[in-house]
């Protein structure tokens, strides 16, 4: 057997090299055309199947032979540090994100009514005030500013306080610990302490809602479900944790990447300023073009034949969202940013039973942030060259640590 043949059989190291962050790996295009499903080796020294085509990724995300159970010994991209960081959070191992059918159905149904488009639209004035207040503070302080700490982290942090019904006197504590988990300057020790503090806080918050339910997400969940078989205290604490962690990462990074993308396209900003209704389509294109999660990971429960390969039971699966969102078979000129495309069929929020429950909230937050930011600060620009922006790129997530801007 030749050395070249042996080389082709070796699992390819993953994540793939990115030559131009925040763009996805350039080799995704070739893999979609020539090797849409290949074996890769992960930073954890595990091997898994990398799936790069849109049609295959969507098919696997709704295949009941694929599992999201993070407790599976072969679940890919498992990082011990995350288990340590989140050790204090109740029900993490069996949160909504990790449940398969049929166990997933009842807890998901509990939350679904809280995130309908109608309910989220009712929150628009609250979100608008949060954004306006933050921009007021930025303008009062004067340029330059860090868009991450001054706006992007603040919007979801303050919004989650509203959703969970965090008492006013506790919000400074809650927001401080939440930001400690998110900001790059936090040490591992500080993050561990913040995680423990938040675990205790959420446990006590749910206990208080059980004692005296209030008109917020947690209070309403208690009232509607505490007499059902599915309800447990730990499940509700786990849901609160999911809302906290999941709601932050996506929105923070989408604000950062979207701002960068728009500042590189002043013609799009000009169109948005003359046609505010265009913001809906533009947000969809930002989400498609700059997916926050480059991959979603799963493990096979049974053998699966797909794309000419057999994924064996127990094999890890890496679903390349950053690749299939650019798949030319689904998105014409997929590597071109088209602010008027408005295609909602991207997989940035996943697909199937685990499609992000908070996607309506994320969309509305992004619409309000971008529309308000470029209306109120029309001369906004980066305060550093793009190659000086410290991008956050991990095996799964794309984001920005700091985003210096001026005006």
- The alpha carbon of residue 286 and the mean position of all alpha carbons in its chain are separated, in whole angstroms, by 13
| pLDDT tens string 300-341 | 999 999 999 999 999 999 999 999 999 999 999 999 999 999
Structure tokens at 227: 């007499």
Higher pLDDT, 103 or 80: 103
**The two three-digit tokens of residue 59, written as one number:** 């098919």
Question: In CATH, what number is assigned to the domain containing residue 92?
Answer: 1.10.630.10
Q: How far apart are CA 286 and CA 371, in angstroms?
A: 13
Percent of the chain with pLDDT over 90: 64
Positions of E strands within 16-125:
37-41, 47-51, 66-67
Question: Would you put residue 62 in left (φ > 0), alpha (ψ -120 to 50) or beta?
Answer: alpha
What is the pLDDT averaged over residues 164-181? 83
Q: Which domain holds residue 139?
A: 64-298+347-406
Q: Is residue 142 in a domain? A: yes
| Domain membership flag for residue 86 | yes
351-361 residue pLDDT tens: 999 999 899 99
**pTM value > 0.95:** no
Contact 318, 299 (CB under 8 A): no
pLDDT digits (tens, 9 = 90+) for 131-166: 999 999 999 999 999 999 999 989 988 998 899 998
Question: Is 236 part of a structural domain of the chain?
Answer: yes
47-51 β-sheet, strand order: 12-13, 37-41, 47-51, 316-320, 295-300, 66-67
In a domain, 157, yes or no: yes
The count of domains in the chain is: 1
């Amino acid at each position: 057997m030749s050395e070249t043949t042996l080389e082709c059989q070796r699992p390819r190291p993953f994540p793939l090299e990115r030559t131009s962050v925040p763009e996805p790996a350039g080799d995704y295009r070739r893999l979609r055309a020539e090797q849409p499903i290949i074996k890769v080796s992960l930073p954890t020294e595990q091997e898994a199947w990398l799936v790069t085509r849109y049609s295959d990724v969507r098919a696997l995300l709704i295949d009941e032979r694929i599992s999201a159970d993070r407790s599976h010994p072969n679940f890919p991209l498992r990082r011990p540090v995350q288990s340590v960081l989140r050790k204090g959070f109740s029900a993490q191992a069996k949160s909504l994100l990790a449940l398969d059918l049929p166990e997933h159905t009842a807890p998901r149904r509990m939350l679904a009514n809280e995130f309908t488009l109608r309910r989220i639209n009712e929150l628009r004035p609250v979100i608008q005030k949060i954004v306006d207040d933050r921009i007021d503070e930025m303008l009062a302080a004067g340029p330059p500013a860090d868009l991450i700490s001054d706006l992007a982290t603040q919007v979801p942090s303050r919004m989650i306080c509203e959703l969970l019904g965090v008492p006013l006197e506790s919000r400074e504590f809650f927001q401080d610990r939440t930001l400690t988990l998110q900001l790059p300057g936090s040490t591992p020790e500080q993050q561990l302490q913040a995680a423990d503090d938040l675990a205790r806080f959420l446990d006590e918050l749910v206990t208080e809602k059980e004692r005296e339910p209030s008109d917020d997400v947690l209070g309403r969940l208690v009232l509607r479900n505490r007499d059902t078989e599915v309800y447990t205290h730990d499940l509700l604490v786990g849901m609160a944790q999911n809302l906290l962690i999941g709601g932050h990462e996506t929105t923070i990074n989408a604000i950062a990447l979207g701002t960068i993308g728009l500042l590189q396209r002043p013609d799009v900003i000009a169109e948005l300023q003359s046609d505010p209704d265009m913001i809906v389509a533009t947000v969809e294109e930002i989400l498609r073009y700059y997916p926050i999660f480059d991959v979603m990971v799963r493990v096979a429960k049974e053998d699966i034949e797909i794309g000419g390969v057999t994924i064996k039971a127990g094999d890890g699966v890496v679903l390349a969202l950053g690749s299939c969102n650019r798949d030319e078979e689904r998105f014409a000129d997929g590597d071109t940013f088209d602010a008027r495309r408005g295609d909602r069929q991207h997989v940035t929020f996943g697909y199937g039973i685990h499609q992000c429950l908070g996607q309506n909230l994320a969309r509305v937050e992004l619409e309000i942030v971008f529309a308000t930011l470029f209306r109120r600060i029309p001369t906004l620009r980066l305060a550093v060259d793009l190659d000086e922006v410290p991008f956050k790129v991990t095996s799964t997530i794309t984001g920005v640590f700091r985003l210096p801007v001026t005006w």
